[in-house]
């Protein structure tokens, strides 16, 4: 066998084991008995040790050195690019450190959940301090020069720096703040009334998942505290959550995760269990979940379709017309929780996290001072006080599992979604009529063919620019938000 054949077969096994590791993480969040956390941490650490050893196996470096990448086709070149990136990263991180991070973050997840339930940041602070120290150590091992935070960001958004994001977010922020201020001077939208059966919510969420193209022959929907998606190819699982007072939480969490899930399900099958058989980056991934959830799922046209199904499922819920329902779905108002935030304010929640986690990583902010720093920043940005830790710095799971550098990809995904939607409308002339009757195929087919099918064949920015026909910027997102909410609130 040639070096290329050896390498690709070896990588296929590594990719398969990585999928198994991801499924263990899915099980931990959905099915695992509460008392199994310690054992699961040991299992995750053991599997991470195997994966790390494979990723930095000396033979990988030898095979890469033997291969003339320029003589291979585009897809093979892309696989070699991603294998090399993973090899060079793994080679710099000691195996023992990788295992320790896996074990510590697995246990930290349960401790975060307990602290969140108790509204007790002090109980979680020592755990977070330990996780942060381990991730700093990893970042320092990876950093050849420059900002350690950039090495963390590279795990989720290759070839993007914190400085670039700071510039983009700096251009985004003033427009969001001004729009938010104008909206909050207006009368609030009508709200839903009553309690909504949680089983009925789940049934409707399954209908929505199917409507948006999620393939239940290769996936499933379960409940979790913090909705997420997991897996790729032939096994892509999503989760949602229910709240008897707020069915929108369930429906739009489902649509959001369906966006992630459909991206993975729609990648060209020939890339299955290869290094390019997954999303190009977390920012690109988030662009799919956000365009499904917001530009499509919260559009005036689709809200007419959803309103009809709400009437069938819940009868009278206090809203009598599709127009009032559309305004309720897109209501802008005060709130503490990022995942429940409206489109206008969502990115302000992300920018808060981006700044705080950069300060944590640099050492400018100590873990013991995080809760106070969060609350002060929140009051400065939103104008009201955080009531408890579960509505503040304990609301997200990310830091407990070491995902430093992940948060900014949420806003980057929104920016990408704005660019994609501008192009989608030009390519789908019947979009509104289709959405009005629950026909998502023209939109989701365009996204599949223009972006999703390619997986990680291209680098993230090129994935977006090729789909859109222009380089991504924050301008289309701002224009979309300004137009939509000026109409809703008569600005």
The residues carrying an active-site annotation are 257
Q: How does 367-398 read in b/e, with b if 16+ C-beta sit within 10 Å?
A: beebbebbbebbeeebeeebeebbbbbbbbbb
Alpha carbon distance 361, 144 (integer Å) = 16
Residues in the chain: 491
Please check whether residue 259 is in contact with residue 290, taking contact to mean a CB–CB distance below 8 angstroms.
yes
Alpha carbon distance 110, 149 (integer Å) = 25
Q: What angle do CA 351, 246, 284 make, to 5 degrees?
A: 40
CB atoms within 10 A of CB 32: 16
DSSP string, 386-444: --SGGGTTTS-SGGGGT-TT-THHHHHHHHHHHHHHHHHHHH-TTHHHHHHTT--HHHH
Please check whether residue 18 is in contact with residue 51, taking contact to mean a CB–CB distance below 8 angstroms.
yes
How far is C-alpha 311 from the geometric centre of its chain's CA atoms?
A: 31
Alpha carbon distance 446, 444 (integer Å) = 5
Alpha carbon distance 274, 272 (integer Å) = 6
Q: The dihedral of CA 381, 382, 383, 384: what is its sign? A: negative
Please check whether residue 80 is in contact with residue 69, taking contact to mean a CB–CB distance below 8 angstroms.
yes
**Which residues are within 8 A (CB) of 276 and not within 5 positions of it... i.e. 6 or more apart?**
75, 78, 79, 82, 455, 456, 457
How far is C-alpha 386 from the geometric centre of its chain's CA atoms?
A: 24
DSSP 454: G
**Which residues are within 8 A (CB) of 147 and not within 5 positions of it... i.e. 6 or more apart?**
161, 162, 163
Q: How does 242-253 read in b/e, with b if 16+ C-beta sit within 10 Å?
A: beeebbbbbbbb
Element (H, E) at 167: helix 162-184
């Amino acid at each position: 066998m040639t070096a290329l054949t050896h390498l690709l077969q070896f990588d296929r096994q590594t990719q398969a084991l990585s999928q198994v590791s991801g499924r263990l993480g899915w099980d931990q969040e959905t099915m695992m008995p509460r008392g199994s956390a310690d054992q699961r941490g040991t299992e995750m650490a053991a599997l991470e040790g195997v994966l790390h050893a494979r990723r930095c196996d000396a033979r990988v470096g030898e095979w890469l050195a033997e291969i003339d990448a320029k003589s291979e086709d585009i897809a093979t070149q892309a696989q070699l690019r991603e294998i090399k990136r993973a090899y060079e990263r793994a080679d710099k991180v000691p195996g023992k450190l990788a295992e320790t991070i896996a074990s510590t973050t697995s246990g930290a997840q349960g401790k975060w959940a307990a602290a969140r339930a108790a509204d007790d940041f002090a109980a979680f602070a020592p755990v977070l301090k330990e996780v942060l120290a381990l991730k700093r150590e990893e970042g320092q091992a990876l950093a050849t020069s420059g900002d350690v935070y950039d090495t963390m960001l590279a795990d989720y958004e290759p070839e993007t720096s914190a400085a670039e994001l700071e510039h983009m977010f700096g251009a985004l922020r003033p427009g969001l703040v001004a729009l938010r201020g104008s909206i909050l001077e207006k009368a609030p939208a009508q709200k839903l009334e009553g309690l909504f059966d949680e089983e009925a919510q789940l049934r409707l969420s399954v209908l929505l998942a199917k409507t948006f193209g999620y393939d239940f022959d290769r996936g499933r929907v379960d409940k979790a505290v913090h909705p997420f998606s997991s897996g790729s190819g032939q096994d892509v699982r999503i989760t949602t959550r229910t709240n008897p007072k707020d069915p929108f939480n369930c429906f739009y969490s489902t649509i959001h995760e369906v966006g992630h899930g459909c991206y993975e399900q729609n990648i060209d099958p020939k890339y299955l269990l290869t290094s390019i058989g997954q999303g190009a980056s977390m920012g690109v991934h988030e662009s799919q979940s956000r365009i499904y959830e917001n530009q499509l799922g919260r559009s005036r046209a689709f809200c007419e379709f959803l309103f009809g199904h709400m009437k069938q499922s819940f009868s009278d819920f206090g809203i009598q017309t599709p127009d009032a329902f559309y305004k309720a779905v897109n209501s802008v108002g005060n709130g503490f929780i990022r995942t429940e935030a409206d489109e206008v304010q969502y990115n302000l929640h992300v920018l808060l996290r981006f700044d705080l986690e950069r300060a944590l990583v640099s050492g400018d902010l100590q873990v013991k001072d995080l809760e106070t720093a969060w609350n002060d920043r929140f009051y400065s940005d939103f104008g009201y006080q955080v009531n408890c830790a579960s509505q503040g710095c304990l609301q997200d799971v990310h830091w407990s599992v070491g995902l430093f550098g992940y948060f900014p990809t949420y806003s980057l995904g929104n920016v990408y979604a704005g660019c994609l939607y501008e192009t989608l409308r030009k390519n789908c002339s019947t979009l509104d009529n289709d959405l009005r009757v629950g026909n998502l195929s023209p939109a989701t087919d365009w996204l599949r063919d223009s972006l999703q099918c390619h997986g990680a064949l291209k680098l993230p920015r090129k994935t977006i620019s090729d789909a859109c026909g222009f380089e991504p910027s924050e301008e289309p997102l701002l224009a979309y938000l300004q137009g939509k909410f000026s109409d809703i609130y008569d600005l």
